[in-house]
Amino acid sequence: VTAPAEIVLDHRDDSVVARISGEVDMSNAAYVRDQLLASMPNEAIALVLDISATRYLDSAAIEVLFDVSRRLARRRQELRLVMPPDSPLRRVIELTEVHTAAPVYDSLEEALS
Amino acid sequence: MRDRASQQAALAALGQRALSGADLPGLLDEAAAVAARELEADHVAVLERTRDGEGMLARACVGLPEGVLGGVLPVEPDRLARDLGAASSLTARIGSRFGAIEAHSGEPEHFTADDAEFLDGVAAVLAAAGERAGHEDLVRDSEAQFRELADTTPALMWMTDAEGDVTFVNQGWRRFTGGTEIAGVTFASSAHPDDREETVRLWTEAMRRREEFSCEYRLRHAASGGYRWVLERGTPRFSDGEFVGYVGTATDIHERRTMEEALRASETIWRELADTAPAMMWTTDTEGAITFVNQGWLRFTGTTFQEEMGQSWALGVHPEDAETVLSTWDEALAERREWEGEYRLKHHTGEYRWIHDRGVPRIVGGTFVGHVGTAIDIHERRTMEGRLLEVYEREHRIAETLQRSLLPERLPPIEGVALAARYLPGARGAAIGGDWYDVLERPDGRVALVVGDVAGHGLRAAASMGQLRNAFRAYGMVEASPAEVVARINRLVMSGVEQVMATVLYLVLDRESGEVAWSAAGHPPPLVIAPDGARFLEGGRSVPIGAADPAVFREATAILPPGASLLLYTDGLVERRDTPLDDRLAELAEAAAQSGGELDELCEHVIAAVLGETEPGDDVALLAVRPLPVADKEISLTLPAEPGSLAQLRRRLARFLHATGASELEQYEITLTICEAAGNAIEHAYGPGDATYEVEVSFDAGEVTAVVRDSGSWRDKRGEHRGRGLRIIEDLMDDVAVERADGGTLVRMRKRVGEDRAA
């Protein structure tokens, strides 16, 4: 059984919005990383990762966030996270200091402005 | 780069096409094209195992050289890939028998694990479609054969179900009577008004005893605008010893009757008439010796008038029939009464043909002077009856097999619920109905239950039931709202060619909270059996599936009290002609409330109390379910040391933690830490083979304790990632201890719960 996750991509003017729903763990983290990196055209300036509908993230998924941020930075692109304030994921994101690699926004509008 | 989301969308589209009844060859072509596109494969082939199992027939191809399509390959794994010199290939089996779908690429290691998963999905869609096409072929073959047989015979034929309602009349009958009546109307409605009552009386009498039936009456005759005498004969049909109805024929005996009437007037006139009649006729003296046979008889036997005189007629009777014919004839002669028999008589061509022969005593001036008889060639009818019965029995057997294969005796075990089901075939008609039940576990952790009843009986109903069952399995997985599932299936059914009507109760149960949401499409309400009594769940009612489009489907929700069971059933259980439905429902509720204990017991008790000794008129399906409280204070699991086990572990933990009263956040954090520890165990397991790890979780005095044990040893911080895993464990739990012993590692963690909520 592989953890079921679904990524929906939305190409905006100068950024790509990726919504991840479902669960990301060590069984599918590499897949998620590949998909995210492949979704970014050269001309985009930011990848906005919306995890509002993500039910589960483990340390392998956190590692993917750092990895994607690092790789995008080399291409002069930025990773931004969208997570509602009441998300159960918040404590883990803060604990692992993901905000040092990707700014965290409360809503998609804020992340895009 | 291939896109998983695009593969999933393509798979969903293919599944939808298959579900909406696309023809199999078209679907195979489409599957090959979709697979080639989504896998970026150089070639794709759909192979079907040949009937003899010796080869693989290429049914659909993309990118393959000419001549492969339609050709047969030997059954050898990767044969095609090798022949084509492909550098990498991917194969998925289609069902257990159908065949396989293969994709090849000239590039080494072209295919990924996602690709394999996608191709498995395509194969699963094709397997279901192939199986369904097989069922439909059977239905078509069997019905077509039956109708063809019946319609090519010049005889007038009909069939009834076990209640005597006519279910079929052939073309011969319709031509004769000029009537369009087919189903449901008893044949006596076309009888002459003077004969009707007597015919119906005889028929009803025979039906009750399930005996052969024969009578003569005048049947409406369209061509002449009047009535003609016919001999009606019905034979009861049995299948596996069970009475399933009658098959019957009517033979035109108008001339014979006219002749008998003529004979009463004058023998001379009769002889003149007899020689011009096409029927076979004879007279005997008081000793039973033949004194006259007409031209019709001689034309049949090819003998001369002189040869037939005296006792010699018996010589032409088939040896197997001779004894019965002669003994019954001698009896009738001795008692000077009417005689009748069906037997094989030697035809001038040398073969034996079945005839129906009847002699009536002639009384002249109060004195018995012998018999006069008429015989009719019924060979076609006799052979046809046999073949029809054969076809009919085959259809019944197929329907029964289909029904059995679709209704597993044992339900799949689903954690957290007790289940029991029963299916009772009805006593009537072809006995095989369209009732079914099904249970499946949804991805959101809720359990979906279905009980349905397809209108009609026999092979077609069983096949429709199979299709509906699959449709519920498919939509039940993707669609959360019961009313929406039912509405989607209604749309599917209404857009199909086949007319299908079904009542369905579709219900989704949350094992943890006991919340149920249901939609009852023309179906009787589910029954809740709680410790304090039984009551029906009202609401959520709509029209049956296949009745209207657009139609409004409603749903309703309720909470099951702790310890309650749910009973879903089809109306065969509660519908009876002699009792109002409300009374039967009340009876059902009362019976269910009195039953205690296990669900199997509940099913048996309800069946015994509601149906009693009588066999159900219609088939009955019952499905009972009870959410099991998470009584365990602890769980203990041994899981394979592979990443795929984590999703399974999370679902098990979700149920357990929910029952502890932990908040959503606490549940997430405890799950995460346990899974992080499990992730470490998986990474450090010795090889992917049969290594396992163990998880024990307990709850006591507001505190959750978890232990994760493996047989490997944790190396210190392998990069930032593992470091984060440990950090998560340490920060989210109140207390963590790591012990290394016996060549393994044990992590013990504790956390108090319920505090977030209180705060």
Residues of B in contact with A60 (CB under 8 A): 679, 721
Residues of B in contact with A95 (CB under 8 A): 727-728, 731-732
CA distance B473 to B96: 19
Residue A84 has a pLDDT of: 93
Q: Where are the alpha helices (DSSP H) in B363-434?
A: 379-406
Residues of B in contact with A21 (CB under 8 A): none
Q: Summarize the confidence of residues B390-394 as an average pLDDT.
A: 70
Contact predicate B649/B695, CB 8 Å: yes
Among A83-87, B94-98, B652-656, the range scoring the smallest mean pLDDT is B94-98
A70 or B166, higher pLDDT: A70
CA distance B49 to B96: 10
Whether residue B665 and residue A88 make contact (CB cut-off 8 A), yes or no, is: yes
Question: Across chain A, where does the E strand assignment appear?
Answer: 5-11, 15-24, 46-50, 54-57, 78-82, 104-105
Q: Summarize the confidence of residues B357-374 as an average pLDDT.
A: 85
Residue B149 has a pLDDT of: 65
Nearest by CB to B675, which of A25, A35, A62?
A25
Does residue B720 have a pLDDT over 80?
no
Does residue B544 have a pLDDT over 50?
yes
Residues of A in contact with B671 (CB under 8 A): 56
Q: Summarize the confidence of residues B498-505 as an average pLDDT.
A: 87
Nearest by CB to B728, which of A9, A27, A95?
A95
Residue A69 has a pLDDT of: 94
Whether residue B650 and residue A62 make contact (CB cut-off 8 A), yes or no, is: no
Q: Which residues contact B178 (CB under 8 A, 6 or more apart)?
A: B220, B222, B223
Whether residue A63 and residue B724 make contact (CB cut-off 8 A), yes or no, is: yes
Residue A57 has a pLDDT of: 92
Residue B29 has a pLDDT of: 92
Whether residue B679 and residue A8 make contact (CB cut-off 8 A), yes or no, is: no
Among A43-57, B348-362, B393-407, the range scoring the smallest mean pLDDT is B393-407
Q: Summarize the confidence of residues A19-48 as an average pLDDT.
A: 90
Residue B248 has a pLDDT of: 80
Does residue B420 have a pLDDT over 80?
yes
Q: Which residues contact B604 (CB under 8 A, 6 or more apart)?
A: B422
Residue B526 pLDDT grade (very low, low, confident, very high; cuts 50, 70, 90): very high
Residue B41 has a pLDDT of: 93
Residue A61 pLDDT grade (very low, low, confident, very high; cuts 50, 70, 90): very high
Percent of chain B at pLDDT above 90? Answer: 22
Among B12-16, B467-471, B590-594, B642-646, the range scoring the smallest mean pLDDT is B12-16
Whether residue B664 and residue A4 make contact (CB cut-off 8 A), yes or no, is: no
Does residue B724 have a pLDDT over 90?
no
Contact predicate B518/B541, CB 8 Å: no
Which of B642, B653, B668, B674 to mutate: most A Cβ within 10 Å? B668
Q: Summarize the confidence of residues B129-153 as an average pLDDT.
A: 66
Joined tokens for residue B446: 């809720």
How far apart are the CA of A104 and the nearest CA of chain B, in angstroms? Answer: 19
Q: Summarize the confidence of residues B698-715 as an average pLDDT.
A: 81
Whether residue B679 and residue A60 make contact (CB cut-off 8 A), yes or no, is: yes
Whether residue B114 and residue A38 make contact (CB cut-off 8 A), yes or no, is: no
B444 or B432, higher pLDDT: B444
How far apart are the CA of B566 and the nearest CA of chain A, in angstroms? Answer: 31
Query: For residue B550, is the peptide bond before it cis, meaning its omega torsion is within 30 degrees of 0?
Result: yes
Residue B663 pLDDT grade (very low, low, confident, very high; cuts 50, 70, 90): confident
Q: Summarize the confidence of residues B177-191 as an average pLDDT.
A: 63
A2: closest chain B residue by CA: B644
Q: Show which of residues 641-680 on chain B sit within 8 Å of chain A, judged by CB atoms.
A: 643-648, 650, 664-665, 668-669, 671-672, 675-676, 679
Residue B429 has a pLDDT of: 43
Residue B450 has a pLDDT of: 95
A65: closest chain B residue by CA: B721
CA distance B477 to B485: 9
Nearest by CB to A59, which of B3, B8, B728?
B728
Contact predicate A22/A3, CB 8 Å: yes
B643: closest chain A residue by CA: A27
At B727-756, the pLDDT tens digits run 888 888 888 888 877 677 889 999 998 765
Residue B242 has a pLDDT of: 67
Joined tokens for residue A59: 């340390």
Does residue B265 have a pLDDT over 80?
no
B258 or B301, higher pLDDT: B301
Percent of chain B at pLDDT above 70? Answer: 85
Does residue B614 have a pLDDT over 80?
no
Which of A58, A65, A68, A96 to mutate: most B Cβ within 10 Å? A58
How far apart are the CA of A35 and the nearest CA of chain B, in angstroms? Answer: 8
Residue B537 has a pLDDT of: 94
Residue B432 pLDDT grade (very low, low, confident, very high; cuts 50, 70, 90): low
Residue labelled with tokens 């090519």 = B152
Tell me if chain A has a CB within 8 Å of the CB of B441.
no
Tell me if chain A has a CB within 8 Å of the CB of B8.
yes
Q: Summarize the confidence of residues A63-87 as an average pLDDT.
A: 93
Residues of A in contact with B644 (CB under 8 A): 1-2, 27
Residue B759 has a pLDDT of: 40
Q: Which ipTM value was assigned to this complex? A: 0.90
Tell me if chain A has a CB within 8 Å of the CB of B5.
yes
B527-530, strands of its sheet edge to edge: B417-424, B620-627, B565-569, B527-530, B533-536
Does residue B719 have a pLDDT over 60?
no
Does residue B757 have a pLDDT over 50?
no
Residue B435 has a pLDDT of: 87
Residue B556 has a pLDDT of: 93
Whether residue A92 and residue B672 make contact (CB cut-off 8 A), yes or no, is: yes
Residues of B in contact with A6 (CB under 8 A): 5, 8
CA distance B639 to B697: 14
Whether residue B676 and residue A58 make contact (CB cut-off 8 A), yes or no, is: yes
Q: Summarize the confidence of residues B84-110 as an average pLDDT.
A: 86
Whether residue B675 and residue A9 make contact (CB cut-off 8 A), yes or no, is: no
Residue A7 pLDDT grade (very low, low, confident, very high; cuts 50, 70, 90): confident
Residue B271 has a pLDDT of: 76
